[in-house]
Amino acid sequence: MISKALAVDAPEPRDLAENGREVYGWRLVMGEPELVVVAIGFTIAGLEREAFEDFRLRMLGLSQALGLLGYAVDSLTFQRRRAQGSRHWAEFACATPETALPEAPRVARR
């Protein structure tokens, strides 16, 4: 279950990709081949002095929220930071809702 605070504070998936990466693929959209975003990837830093377990739970909650929006989390990688003043990091790789569209057939170039 997602808390109300997480649901309200969770960023939009497309906003997250602005500081990350987008993977494009050919899909059929309304019967026509179109190049669409089929995956996004991004990193999120922990809060200053945030305990790793708190950060981990927060990122798992974000993963659940992303899934409910149609952005299935394919992988979530954590980087722990123990040094003073360092923040933990999480790296997400997500499929987009467009991933489920039928793949466009490949056309040979002339």
Q: Rounded to an integer, what distance in angstroms lies between the CA atom of residue 101 and that of residue 99?
A: 6
Residue range 24-81, pLDDT digits in tens: 999 999 999 999 999 999 999 999 889 999 999 999 999 999 999 999 999 999 999 8
In this structure, what DSSP letter does residue 82 have?
A: -
User: Does residue 104 contact residue 26 with C-beta atoms inside 8 Å?
Assistant: yes
Tell me the domain boundaries of the chain: 4-100
Instruction: Please determine, for residue 20, whether its predicted confidence score (pLDDT) is greater than 80.
Output: yes
